[in-house]
Amino acid sequence: MSSSDNGDLPNKATVEELEKGSSVHVSSIDKDLTRKILWKLDTRILPILAVLFLCSFLDRTNVGNAKLYNLEVDLGITDHQYDQGLAVFYATYILSEIPSNLILKKLTPQIWLPCLTFFWGVSAMCLGFVQNFAGFVGVRALLGLTEGGLLPGIVLYLSTVYTRGELALRIGIFYTAASLSGAFGGLLARGIAEIGTRGGLNKWRWIFVIEGLFTALVGIAAYFILPNGVGSAKFLSAEERQFAVGRLNAASQGDGGDREREATEKFSWSEVGRGVFSLQTWFTASAYFGILSGLYSFGLFLPTIITGLGYAADEAQLWSVIPYAVASVVTVITSFLSDRFRVRGVVMLFSLPLAIIGYGVIANVDNVKVKYGMTFLMATGLYSSVPPVLGWLSNNSAGHYKRATTSALQLAIANCGGFVAVFIYPKAQGPAYREGHTIILGVLCAGWFLILCNVLYCWKINRDKANGKYDKYRGFGDDRDPTFKLVL
What mean pLDDT is predicted for residues 307-331?
76
CB-based burial label for 474 (10 Å; 0-12, 13-18, 19+): middle
Look at 112-116, 316-320, 372-376 and tell me which has the smallest mean pLDDT. 316-320
**DSSP class per residue in 437-451:** HHHHHHHHHHHHHHH
Which conformational region is residue 405 in: left (phi greater than 0), alpha (psi within -120 to 50 degrees), or beta?
Answer: alpha
Q: What are phi and psi of 178, to 5 degrees?
A: -65, -45
pTM exceeds 0.85 for this model: no
Rounded Cα–Cα distance for residues 414 and 98 (Å): 13
Asked whether the beta carbons of 123 and 209 are under 8 A apart, the reply is: no
The answer to whether the beta carbons of residues 368 and 311 sit under 8 Å apart is no
Number of neighbours of residue 191 by Cβ within 10 angstroms = 12
Distance (Å, rounded) from C-alpha 198 to C-alpha 487? Answer: 55
Helix residue spans in 396-474 (DSSP H) = 400-414, 417-423, 434-466
> How far is Cα 110 from Cα 95, in angstroms, rounded to an integer?
22
pLDDT at 324: 82
pLDDT of residue 260: 63
Over residues 344-401, the pLDDT tens digits come to 999 999 999 999 999 999 888 888 778 888 889 999 999 899 989 988 988 898 878 8
Chain-centroid distance of CA 122 in Å reads 21
pLDDT tens per residue across span 22-77: 344 444 457 788 888 999 999 999 889 988 988 887 877 778 777 877 888 888 88
Residue-range domains of the chain with CATH: 34-258+271-473 (1.20.1250.20)
Burial class (CB in 10 A: 0-12, 13-18, 19+), 473: middle
Quick check: helix, strand or coil at residue 327?
helix
Distance of alpha carbon 436 from alpha carbon 433, whole angstroms: 5
Mean pLDDT of the chain: 82
Least confident of 154-158, 370-374, 416-420, 455-459: 416-420
Q: Are the C-beta atoms of residues 375 and 437 closer than 8 Å to each other?
A: no
